[in-house]
Chain A
Amino acid sequence: MNKSLYTIAENVLIAPRTYRLVLVPLSFRAEPEGRSREICHGEFVDIAIPGFYLRRPLSICDREDGKLTVVYRVVGEGTKALAEMTAGTELDVLTGLGNGFDPESCREEALLVGGGLGVPPLYLLAKELKARGKKVTAVLGFNKAEEIILADEFRAVCDEVLVSTVDGSVGVKGFVTDAIAAANPTYDYFYTCGPMVMMKVVCQALDGPGEASLEERMGCGAGFCYGCSIQTKNGPRRVCKDGPVFKKEELLW
Chain B
Amino acid sequence: MVKDLSVALCGLTLKNPVIPASGTFGFGLELADDMDINVLGGISLKGTTREARYGNPTPRIAECPGGMINSVGLQNPGIDVLVNEKVPSLRKVYDGCIIANISGFSLDEYRECCAKADACEGIDLIEVNISCPNVHNGGMAFGTSAESAAEVTRTVKAVCRKPVFIKLSPNVTDIVSIARACEDAGADGLTLVNTFLGMRIDIHRRKPVIANKMGGFSGRAIFPIALRMVYQVAHACRIPVMGCGGVASAADVIEMMMAGATAVQVGAENLRNPFACPEIIEELPVLMDGLNINTLQEIIGTV
Binding partners A and B: yes
- The answer to whether A3 and B274 have CB atoms under 8 Å apart is yes
Count contacts on B: residues with CB < 8 A to the other chain. Answer: 33
- Those of B55-113 within 8 Å (CB) of chain A: 55, 58-68, 70, 72, 75
Does B198 reach chain A (CB closer than 8 Å)?
no
- The answer to whether B274 and A222 have CB atoms under 8 Å apart is yes
- The answer to whether B63 and A94 have CB atoms under 8 Å apart is no
Bound complex: CA of A217 vs CA of B211, how far in Å? Answer: 11
- The answer to whether A219 and B26 have CB atoms under 8 Å apart is no
Which A residues lie within 8 Å of B63 (CB)? 52-54, 78
Stretch at the interface among A21-29, A128-136, A224-232, A243-251: A224-232
- The answer to whether B70 and A225 have CB atoms under 8 Å apart is yes
Whether A53 contacts B55 in the complex (CB less than 8 A), given A222-B274, A225-B23, comes out as: no
Bound complex: CA of A3 vs CA of B272, how far in Å? Answer: 11
Bound complex: CA of A251 vs CA of B170, how far in Å? Answer: 39
- The answer to whether B61 and A217 have CB atoms under 8 Å apart is yes
Count contacts on A: residues with CB < 8 A to the other chain. Answer: 28
Query: Which single member of B34, B59, B273 contacts A35 (CB below 8 Å)?
Result: B34
Does B122 reach chain A (CB closer than 8 Å)?
no
Which B residues lie within 8 Å of A220 (CB)? 24, 270-271, 274
Bound complex: CA of A3 vs CA of B270, how far in Å? Answer: 13
- The answer to whether B55 and A219 have CB atoms under 8 Å apart is no
Residue of B62, B66, B220 with highest tally of chain A CB at under 10 A: B62
Does B180 reach chain A (CB closer than 8 Å)?
no
State how many angstroms separate the Cβ of B52 from the closest Cβ of chain A. Answer: 9
State how many angstroms separate the Cβ of B73 from the closest Cβ of chain A. Answer: 9
Bound complex: CA of A253 vs CA of B108, how far in Å? Answer: 37
Bound complex: CA of A167 vs CA of B203, how far in Å? Answer: 29
Whether A217 contacts B60 in the complex (CB less than 8 A), given A223-B26, A225-B72, comes out as: yes
Does B236 reach chain A (CB closer than 8 Å)?
no
Bound complex: CA of A231 vs CA of B63, how far in Å? Answer: 23
Bound complex: CA of A35 vs CA of B64, how far in Å? Answer: 33
- The answer to whether A53 and B219 have CB atoms under 8 Å apart is yes
Does B31 reach chain A (CB closer than 8 Å)?
yes
Does A1 reach chain B (CB closer than 8 Å)?
yes
Bound complex: CA of A69 vs CA of B59, how far in Å? Answer: 27
Bound complex: CA of A219 vs CA of B65, how far in Å? Answer: 15
Which A residues lie within 8 Å of B31 (CB)? 222, 224
Which A residues lie within 8 Å of B46 (CB)? 226
Hey, what's the 0/1 contact readout for B12-35 against A, CB within 8 Å counting as 1?
000000000001111000110110
Hey, what's the 0/1 contact readout for A5-21 against B, CB within 8 Å counting as 1?
00000000000000000
- The answer to whether B275 and A226 have CB atoms under 8 Å apart is no
Residue of A52, A55, A219, A229 with highest tally of chain B CB at under 10 A: A219
Which B residues lie within 8 Å of A235 (CB)? 54
Which A residues lie within 8 Å of B65 (CB)? 53
Nearest residue (CB) in B for A241 is B30
Does A216 reach chain B (CB closer than 8 Å)?
yes
Residue of B54, B61, B273 with highest tally of chain A CB at under 10 A: B61
| 10 A-B residue pairs with CB within 8 Å | A3-B274, A53-B67, A217-B58, A219-B60, A223-B26, A225-B271, A227-B72, A229-B55, A229-B72, A229-B75
Which 8 pairs, one residue from A and one from B, show the smallest C-beta to C-beta distance?
A224-B26, A224-B30, A217-B59, A227-B61, A220-B271, A219-B61, A1-B34, A227-B60
> Could you list which residues of chain B lie within 8 angstroms of chain A, going by C-beta atoms?
23-26, 30-31, 33-34, 46, 54-55, 58-68, 70, 72, 75, 219-220, 270-275
User: Knowing that A53-B64, A229-B55 are A-B contacts, what are 16 other residue pairs whose CB atoms are under 8 Å apart, sorted by A's residue number?
Assistant: A3-B275, A48-B272, A52-B63, A53-B63, A53-B65, A53-B220, A55-B272, A94-B274, A217-B58, A218-B61, A220-B24, A223-B26, A224-B24, A225-B24, A225-B270, A230-B58
